[in-house]
Each structure stands twice: as C-alpha cells, then as structure tokens.
Amino acid sequence: MFSSLIDKNGLDKEWVELILHARDLGITVDEIREFLSQSLRPD
C-alpha cells in the first residue's frame, strides 16, 4: 500500500511504520513533531 509512496518520495520505511503505528495509538503527527523538537533541542 505505502511501498510506492516510500519509493517515490524516498521516505524511510521504518519512520513511516512508526508514524502509522503512532496514529493507530491516537498520536497525531503534530504531537510527534512537538516531541521530536523538544527531544532534539540542546539544553
């Protein structure tokens, strides 16, 4: 289903699977972005 999307856009298959799994758990893409921005921010 997403293999053409992954190949066409060069997306990492593991990241796509993680995002889809998070969505199944009720976590939005915006929540993931916020988490990553806070996690990657230097102290």
Give the phi and the psi of residue 7 in degrees, each rounded to 5.
-65, -45
pLDDT digits (tens, 9 = 90+) for 21-34: 999 999 998 998 89
Q: What's the total number of domains in the chain?
A: 1
Q: How far apart are CA 43 and CA 34, in angstroms?
A: 16
Cβ partners under 8 Å of residue 19, min gap 6: 29, 32
7-25 tens-digit pLDDT:
566 777 888 888 899 999 9
Query: Which stretch, 2-6, 11-15, 27-31, 36-40, has highest mean pLDDT?
Result: 27-31
What is the total residue count of the chain?
Answer: 43
Res 1 pLDDT > 50: no
**pLDDT at residue number 27:** 95
Going from the C-alpha of 36 to that of each of 4, 15, 17, 33, 39, the distances in angstroms are 26, 13, 16, 5, 5
What's the domain range around 28?
3-40
